[in-house]
Amino acid sequence: MGSPFSIDLGVSQGRIPSTSAPDGSYVYEFGHTQRIDERVAAGDYHEVQQTVTLSPQAALLRATVKITPPDTITTGYAWLFTMRLNGVIRASRTIEAGRRAVTLTDLTIPLALANIAPLTNLIAFRLELIT
């Protein structure tokens, strides 16, 4: 059996087709599209990474994040969403746990400290349950 972050990879978790994708036809689902309340504890997280070679003209990396909690979420917890560039947190948001959906728009990482092409960069997005 997989972890709460990987039990249905490619179907309801991970890179999946979505009609709500802002650009293209896929989104990356950190949790589960069915909002399944699995047993997760403070400190549990899911992270996706990608190595990219950036254009010298690139100034910002932008992301839109929609968080929809399970109906049975326990109070006293929060979600920490971080965006990393080459292992360093460059942007973060703490989202209080609750029963409402939250959409974070225009999250950005400034790319001034990125490796200049042709060198690669590691971009990572992480969603972690915290207290």
Dig out the tokens for 80 from the structure. 């920490």
Residue 16, in any domain of the structure? no
> pTM for the full model?
0.72
The predicted-structure confidence for 10-22, as pLDDT tens digits, reads as follows 666 666 677 766 6
The number of distinct structural domains making up the chain is 1
Domain that holds residue 80: 41-130
Q: How far apart are CA 130 and CA 35, in angstroms?
A: 18
- Residues 128, 91: contact at Cβ < 8 Å? no
Q: Report pLDDT for 90.
A: 93
Q: Phi, psi (5° rounding) for residue 31?
A: -100, -115
Q: Report pLDDT for 13.
A: 65
Residue 13, in any domain of the structure? no
Q: Report pLDDT for 84.
A: 93
Residue 66, in any domain of the structure? yes
More confident position, 6 or 43: 43
Query: Can you spell out the DSSP letters for 39-50?
Result: ---TT-EEEEEE
Nearest to 125 by CA among 2, 27, 20, 22: 27
The predicted-structure confidence for 52-68, as pLDDT tens digits, reads as follows 888 888 888 888 777 77
Report whether pLDDT(35) > 60: no
β-sheet with 88-96: strand ranges across: 45-52, 121-130, 78-85, 88-96
Q: How far apart are CA 12 and CA 46, in angstroms?
A: 15
Residue 14, in any domain of the structure? no
Residue 76, in any domain of the structure? yes
Report whether pLDDT(1) > 60: no
Q: How far apart are CA 129 and CA 131, in angstroms?
A: 7
